[in-house]
Chain A
Amino acid sequence: MEPVLTIALAGNPNAGKTTLFNHLTGARQHVGNYPGITVEQKEGCCLHQGRGVRVVDLPGTYSLTAYSVEELVARDFLVNEQPDVVVDVVDASNLERNLYLSCQFLELGVPLVIALNMIDVAEKRGVTIDAEALSSRLGVPVVPIIARSGKGVDRLLDAVLATAASARPHPVFLRYGSDIDQALTDMTDDIAACTELTAVYPQRWLGVKLLENDEQIVRKTLEAHPEAGKKLIARCESVGQHLQHTLGVYPEAVIADHRYGYIKSIIHQGVVHRKFVADRLYASDKIDKVVTHRILGPLIMAGVLYCLYTFTFSYSSVPVEWLEKFFALLSTGVDTLLPDGPFKSMLISGVIDGVGGVLGFVPIIMFMFFGIALLEDSGYLARVAFMMDRIFHFFGLHGSSVMPFIISGGIAGGCAVPGVMAARTLRSPKERLATLLTVPFMNCGAKLPVLTLLIGAFFSAHQARYMFLSTLAAWLIALCVAKLLRLTLLKGASTPFVMELPPYRFPTLKGLFIHTWERTWQYIKKAGTVILGISILIWAMMTYPELPEARVAHYDSLRQEARQTLAVDTEGLAAALAKIDTDKAQDGLRHSIGGRIGLALEGVSRYAGIDWRTNIALVGGFAAKEVIVSTLGTAYSLGEVDPEETTSLQERLDKDPNWNPVVALAVLAFIMFYSPCFVTVVCIARESGSWKWAAFSMLFNTVFAFILAVAIYQIGILLYPR
């Protein structure tokens, strides 16, 4: 049996790389992350002519510079892992630009096969491409394919096997104009001295990268060969100055120009034939005339986003309910089967509630990713970014940040977990991080019962107005904090908005399902384990240490007493017993670690007018924001409070001397902006690739929310003294 071949799929974003990957590997694929960074690593396998082929999907890039992680990942993979063949997926309807990347593969000297994708689209546009002529000019096999239908894929794999069997090619020798060429010749000896690098990279390629001022190569050269490196850098700088002086351009611009020159010289020699003059109005342009229209565009966008939102959160509520019912049934089952005790309590409140909490998000995430995949694959998402960029860019974000914001609760009632995960569509690291850290400020569905409770209790006359204002406040604060972060911690120039508006396409169902499933599975697998652990921890905090025996005995004696005195009055007895139980629960909560934290924090929280009972509820809210309502219920000895039915708690708060509209407003602000729930925190850690940012979001948001709450309370009591 011959060894398994490794092929790498490379190409521009939107060239159909993923479609080809899905076609080749079907369900036999595996998604992971490159260690330490958040670029997805997709791998799969297929069989051709009895030969096993391992297919690695490289991130889509336009170039092989060292600017983005995607490009570095792709380049390092090609250099370090030395795949047997690189399949370069090229969009036939956009040949010239796509060949810019192909040209860089040729310069790097990797074994290349070009998959000329979407020839059907090109033909519809009146462009025919002579694949054989292109192949002979480039010196590599060129196979026309239609990845969507799988046409030509067998021939592509034939070419791959043939290329793998032949010798590794030499890097293609390109000319970059007299100045650069002269410099490259001068640098030959010094580059040859850098033996550690020439063992891995082709010599001339190293010279070109040094002239392009490629960060990674410059650093590596200086580290491994400081002496030769310094000489080389000096030579590059002198060329740069000379070019600036004479032509007013950078060396990298000259190199790019010559690459395009090479490409033009190839495709203009009878490779591309146009049946009719270019730039007729394509179907895509016609759609864009309406969809990105000045007035209609934003209206359509609002409609589409609203539909996505309804689709995600309304339709997913049915499976969410099934899951909730299932876990409720499980709880009841465990409750009746097992004897009372700490194990049962942990199983129900820690494990089942924890797992239920994790899985409860699954339908939402699935629906949301399906919706996003639909918008992304069809090309509409890029138009949304295009239309919204002006506003988001002002706050240091990117047009693509709009999706995560909307999903997290930009329209009240979203969820930050899928919102954080939706930030994946952002390709610019700083804007992405700023988005990740600010989307939890939005009013997610779990905050709504708490907001409704407080607004209903203290501002019932203007309920709708306050709910609307809270949504506006969330947007305002989130965007302003994003701006603040981008001016301080995430300082730096914004990532260029040089972005492609891909032509509209009908997404393939297979692609949509694969997309949806792989992301959902990643969530279940990765978040699941951590979340279960934290859930048990929070349960323990709210349960231990248990009441001392003397207190338990005290409540037992109270019950005895009640039974004796109210023996005849059954209704009165039940009420009295329930009262004792809730008092005991309150006492127990107060005695637990969580309760002690709440009490200890009162010293600080009173500056915002918040008492220890609310503190406990806020600590509990870290598990999930809707827990705030039920914990408040226990803390006010009201027993279990259903978050959907809070009238008793509302009345209780309204009468409580510790509460008044000013306190309510301060608490409202605090709840809206303090630490995200831990499921979100875990997701932030996953998506940012570091627990540091997760910890930051907990700490920063809590401090920020506290300052805001203190400000509201202090100004409030000045204006409305009791």
Chain B
Amino acid sequence: MTIVNLRTMAINQSGTIVAVKVGGELGRRIREMGLVPGTEITIKQRAPLNDPVALRVMGGTLTLRNNEADYIEVEVAS
């Protein structure tokens, strides 16, 4: 198991969030959408220009910009 940054994950790769290292509005927005430690995510799609990214979380699909994904660390099977 290795810990990677969400930005570096490939399409269809899955993992479990281990940390969300941001406070303030962005942190709150990320958390209220269910991106908290322990949550499983799968990268679904990237926008035509590679940013933002769409991911599957708890049965819903969310979007994030790459610079927002930078704060999220994910544990993936290596």
Q: Is A316 in contact with chain B by the CB < 8 A criterion?
A: no
Chain B 19-32 near chain A by CB (<8 Å), digits 1 or 0:
11101011111111
Is there contact, CB below 8 Å, between A298 and B48?
yes
How many residues from B make CB contacts under 8 Å with A?
A: 41
Bound complex: CA of A297 vs CA of B50, how far in Å?
Answer: 13
Evaluate contact between A496 and B25: CB separation under 8 angstroms: yes
A277: CB under 8 A from chain B? no
Task: Mark out the residues of chain A between 101 and 141 whose CB falls within 8 Å of any chain B CB in the assembled complex.
Answer: 101, 125, 127
Report chain A residues within 8 Å CB of B33.
62, 97, 498, 500
- B37 / chain A contacts, CB cutoff of 8 Å: 257
Verify A499–B62 contact, CB threshold 8 A: yes
A93 to B59, CA, bound (A): 7
A468 at the interface (CB under 8 A from B): no
A386 lies within 8 A of B54 (CB):
yes
Interface residues of A in 485-504 (CB under 8 A from B): 493, 495-503
Docked complex: A599-640 residues within 8 A CB-CB of B: none
Contacts of B39 in A (CB 8 A): 260
Please give me the residue from chain B that is nearest to A248 by CB atom: B21
Q: Does A96 count as interface, using CB distance less than 8 angstroms? A: yes
Asked whether A250 lies within 8 Å of B42 as measured between CB atoms, the reply is no
Q: Is A100 an interface residue (CB 8 A)?
A: yes
Contacting pair A500 B60 (CB below 8 A):
yes
Question: Do A498 and B63 have beta carbons less than 8 Å apart?
Answer: yes
Q: Is the CB of B32 within 8 A of A62?
A: yes
Chain B hits for A382, CB < 8 A: 63
Q: Which residues of chain A come closer than 8 Å to B23, judged between CB atoms?
A: 250, 252-253
Once the chains are docked, how many angstroms separate the CA of A542 from the CA of B58?
A: 63
Name B2-58 residues within 8 Å CB distance of A: 19-21, 23, 25-39, 42, 44-52, 54, 56-58
| A118 vs chain B, min Cβ distance (A) | 11
| B68 in contact with A256 (CB, 8 Å) | no
One of A164-172, A388-396, A532-540 contacting the partner: A388-396
Which of A249, A284, A390 is packed against the most chain B CB atoms within 10 Å?
A390
Give the docked Cα–Cα distance between A312 and B5 (Å): 44
- Could you give, for residues 274-301 of chain A, a 1 whenever the CB lies within 8 Å of some chain B CB and a 0 otherwise? 0000110000110011001011011000
A250 lies within 8 A of B63 (CB): no
Q: A387 contacts the other chain (Cβ, under 8 Å)?
A: yes
CB distance from B69 to the nearest CB of A (A): 10
If A97-B33, A253-B20, A387-B48 touch, whether A501 touches B26 (CB-CB below 8 Å) is no
Which residues on the A side are within 8 Å of B62 (C-beta)? 498-501
**Is A390 within 8 A of B50, CB to CB?**
yes
Nearest neighbor of A250 in chain B, beta-carbon distance? B23
The reply to whether A390 and B52 contact each other, CB–CB distance below 8 Å, is yes
Q: Which residue on A lies nearest to B64, using beta carbons?
A: A498
Check B29–A496 contact: CB distance below 8 A: yes
Does A94 sit within 8 A of B, measured CB to CB?
A: yes
- On whether A391 and B49 interact (CB within 8 A), knowing A257-B37, A292-B54, A498-B30, the answer reads yes
Residue pair A253, B54 in contact (C-beta under 8 Å):
no
Q: Which residue of B lies closest to A385 (CB)?
A: B63
Other-chain residue from B36, B51, B56, B68 in contact with A390 (beta carbon distance below 8 A):
B51
Docked Cα-Cα span, A260 to B31, in Å, equals 9
Known: A252-B23, A253-B23, A256-B31. A285 touches B44 (CB 8 A): yes
Docked pose: A67 CA to B50 CA in angstroms: 28
The distance in angstroms between the C-alpha atoms of A260 and B58, with both chains bound, is 12
- B64 contact from A62, A93, A95, A497, Cβ within 8 A: A497
Bound CA span A497–B62, Å? 9
User: Which residues of B lie under 8 Å from residue A288 when comparing CB positions?
Assistant: 44-45, 54, 61
A94 CA / B27 CA spacing, docked (Å): 21
Residue of chain A at shortest CB distance from B65? A497
Task: Give the distance in Å from the alpha carbon of A498 to the alpha carbon of B65 in the complex.
Answer: 8
Residues of the B chain whose Cβ atoms lie less than 8 Å from the Cβ of A125: 59
CA A499 – CA B64 in complex, angstroms?
7
Q: A493 to chain B: closest CB distance in Å?
A: 8
B48-A279 in contact (CB<8A): no
Q: Whole-angstrom distance from the CB of B43 to the nearest CB of chain A?
A: 12
The answer to the question of A65 belonging to the interface, with a C-beta cut-off of 8 Å to chain B, is: yes
Q: How far is the CB of B22 from chain A (nearest CB, A)?
A: 8
Question: Across the interface, which residues of A come within 8 angstroms of B64, CB to CB?
Answer: 496-498
Q: Is A438 interfacial (CB 8 A cutoff)?
A: no
Provided the pairs A256-B32, A498-B30 are in contact, do residues A294 and B63 lie with their beta carbons within 8 angstroms? Answer: no
Contact of A253 among B27, B52, B68 (CB under 8 A): B27
The CA of A503 and the CA of B54, in the complex, are separated in Å by 13
Residue of B nearest to A96 (CB): B58
In the bound complex, residues from chain B placing their C-beta under 8 Å from that of A501 are 54, 61-63
Given the complex of chains A and B, what is the CA–CA distance between A95 and B58 in angstroms?
Answer: 8
The docked-state distance in angstroms from the alpha carbon of A284 to that of B54 is 13
A182 to chain B, nearest CB (A): 21
A93-B59, A97-B60, A498-B64 as given contacts; A386 in contact with B34, CB under 8 Å: no
Point out residues on B near A: beta carbons under 8 Å.
Answer: 19-21, 23, 25-39, 42, 44-52, 54, 56-65, 68
Give 30 pairs: A residue, B residue, CB < 8 Å, sorted on A.
Answer: A62-B33, A63-B28, A93-B59, A94-B60, A96-B58, A97-B33, A97-B57, A97-B59, A250-B27, A252-B27, A253-B31, A253-B36, A257-B37, A278-B59, A295-B48, A386-B54, A389-B51, A390-B49, A390-B52, A391-B49, A399-B52, A496-B25, A496-B26, A496-B64, A497-B68, A498-B63, A498-B64, A498-B68, A499-B62, A501-B62
Could you list which residues of chain A lie within 8 angstroms of chain B, going by C-beta atoms?
A: 62-63, 65, 67, 93-97, 100-101, 125, 127, 248-250, 252-253, 256-257, 260, 278-279, 284-285, 288-289, 292, 294-295, 297-298, 382, 386-387, 389-391, 393, 399, 493, 495-503
Which 10 A-B pairs have CB atoms at the shortest separation, nearest pair first?
A390-B49, A63-B32, A256-B31, A250-B23, A501-B61, A97-B34, A62-B32, A498-B29, A94-B60, A96-B58
* Given A250-B27, A386-B47, A495-B25, 14 additional A-B pairs, CB 8 A: A67-B29, A93-B59, A96-B34, A96-B59, A252-B23, A253-B31, A253-B36, A256-B28, A256-B36, A260-B38, A260-B39, A387-B48, A389-B52, A499-B63
